[in-house]
Amino acid sequence: MTTKNIHEATLAEVNDLGENSAEFVIKPLYYGYGNTLGNSLRRVLLSSVKGAAITSFSIEGVTHEFTSVPGVREDVVDIMLNLKNIRFKCHTDAPVELSLEIQGNQQSEKDGDKRVVAGDIKLTSDVEIANPNQTICHIDDPNTVLKMHFVVETGRGYLPIDQSSSDRLHSDMIAVDAVFTPVLRVRYKVENTRVGQDTNLQQLTLTIDTDGTMTPKEAFEEAAAILINQYTALAGKTRVESAPAPGLNEDEDDGGLLLPIEELDLSARTANALLNNDIKTVRDLVVLSETDLKDLKGFGTKALDEVKEKLTELNL
């Protein structure tokens, strides 16, 4: 009796949906593993990917958060909420101290209030800001000079204000509850798929949106690495052999999936286009959808029709 092993997952596609959004297609998966992987990756992406945020701040002339700031439209609580929306990228694990000093509009009353934004913060070489247009406050008195200091730290997940307060670098600063994660949103979808004659497989599509301090691919790979570390520690010395490929057993080639592309009697142009895209066997070919094939470099409509005809002959 042959034991059916669980085959390894494959990252088949990465599609950019926008500047900070991407879609990851994982297929083919052992049945039931679409939700298993999708749920675990989503939880880790939203809770454990490393990021940076302001953990405390001070405003010259202000002693606590339940007060107003002379010459500034917003009170301290409103300013605190705006500071939590600034997205930082840190190149060090040590806390970084930053400052801001800016005066209201003095040219004329027509200029109105002075809008203070994240881009007005004086940065060091260790810190970048992904959204410099994020509003901090508005100075409504042209003679007011606003001076602020910030502490930016790296972390994972959420830091409640009581912990942030107890761990403050400077006791005279106002603590902020910090959201470190650079991942804004994660969605996943599980669909059925097939490879050759094996229809009991799944496809996982994971969509990740980040705040611009990290690319979706970097976030995806970090989350996967975190899960690997956790499960490897729990597995000890136990290792489970994975299946060679979906639709294959250890002793035979099911339906010719191991057949080299060169032996399919395709035209030289079509065969070369497949080989140049690192598609070397029938197994590499059948996991691709029609859309995937159209996107291959140097692969045209005639080549697609030829491949579809050949796969039909092989009952694939």
Q: For residues 285 and 90, give the distance between their C-alpha atoms in angstroms, rounded to a whole number.
A: 42
pLDDT at position 258 = 67
Q: Is the pLDDT of residue 73 over 90?
A: yes
* Mean pLDDT within 72-96: 95
Regarding whether 171 and 285 lie in a shared domain, the answer is no
Would residue 122 count as lying in a domain?
A: yes
Would residue 244 count as lying in a domain?
A: no
> Which band of pLDDT confidence, cut at 50, 70 and 90, is reported for residue 1?
very low
* Block residue for tokens 């701040």: 57
Regarding whether 153 and 58 lie in a shared domain, the answer is yes
Would residue 1 count as lying in a domain?
A: no
Regarding whether 269 and 171 lie in a shared domain, the answer is no
Regarding whether 267 and 158 lie in a shared domain, the answer is no
pTM above 0.85, yes or no: no
Would residue 246 count as lying in a domain?
A: no
Would residue 310 count as lying in a domain?
A: yes
> Which band of pLDDT confidence, cut at 50, 70 and 90, is reported for residue 165?
confident
Any idea which of 42-56, 135-149, 245-259 has the lowest mean pLDDT? Answer: 245-259
pLDDT at position 6 = 77
pLDDT at position 111 = 61
Task: Assign residue 144 the CATH number of its domain.
Answer: 2.170.120.12
Write out the residue range of the structural domain in which residue 299 sits: 253-316
Residues 6+ positions from 146 with CB-CB distance below 8 Å: 59, 60, 69, 71, 72, 100, 101, 102, 103, 116, 137, 139
pLDDT at position 246 = 55
> Which band of pLDDT confidence, cut at 50, 70 and 90, is reported for residue 305?
confident
Last residue in a domain, options 163, 179, 195: 179
Q: Is the pLDDT of residue 245 over 50?
A: no
Q: For residues 303 and 81, give the distance between their C-alpha atoms in angstroms, rounded to a whole number.
A: 57
Regarding whether 156 and 56 lie in a shared domain, the answer is yes
* Mean pLDDT within 268-289: 82
- Which of 97 and 259 is assigned the larger pLDDT? 97
Regarding whether 154 and 55 lie in a shared domain, the answer is yes
pLDDT at position 195 = 73
* Mean pLDDT within 20-48: 93
Regarding whether 175 and 263 lie in a shared domain, the answer is no
* Mean pLDDT within 155-179: 86
Regarding whether 175 and 55 lie in a shared domain, the answer is yes
Work out how many domains the chain is built from and give that number.
2
Q: At what angle do helices 216-235 and 33-47 cross, to 10 degrees?
A: 110
Amino acid at 127: V
Q: pLDDT tens digits for 36-51?
A: 999 999 999 999 999 9
The string of DSSP codes covering the chain is -PPPPPPPP-EEEEEEEETTEEEEEEEEEETTHHHHHHHHHHHHHHHTSEEEEEEEEEETT--SSSSB-TTBSSBHHHHHHHHTT--EEES-SS-EEEEEEEE---S-GGG-SEEEEGGGSB--TTEEES-TT-EEEEE--TT-EEEEEEEEEEEESEE-HHHHHHT-SSTTSEE--EE---EEEEEEEEEEEEETTEEEEEEEEEEEEE-SSS-HHHHHHHHHHHHHHHHHHHHTT---PPPSSTT--SS--GGGTT-BGGGG---HHHHHHHHHTT--BHHHHHTS-HHHHHTSTT--HHHHHHHHHHHHHTT-
Would residue 71 count as lying in a domain?
A: yes
Last residue in a domain, options 126, 149, 179: 179
**Of 252, 310, 302, whose CA–CA distance to 286 is shortest?**
310
Regarding whether 265 and 169 lie in a shared domain, the answer is no
- Which of 28 and 189 is assigned the larger pLDDT? 189
Would residue 170 count as lying in a domain?
A: yes
Regarding whether 175 and 62 lie in a shared domain, the answer is yes
Task: Assign residue 294 the CATH number of its domain.
Answer: 1.10.150.20
Would residue 162 count as lying in a domain?
A: yes
* Mean pLDDT within 29-35: 90
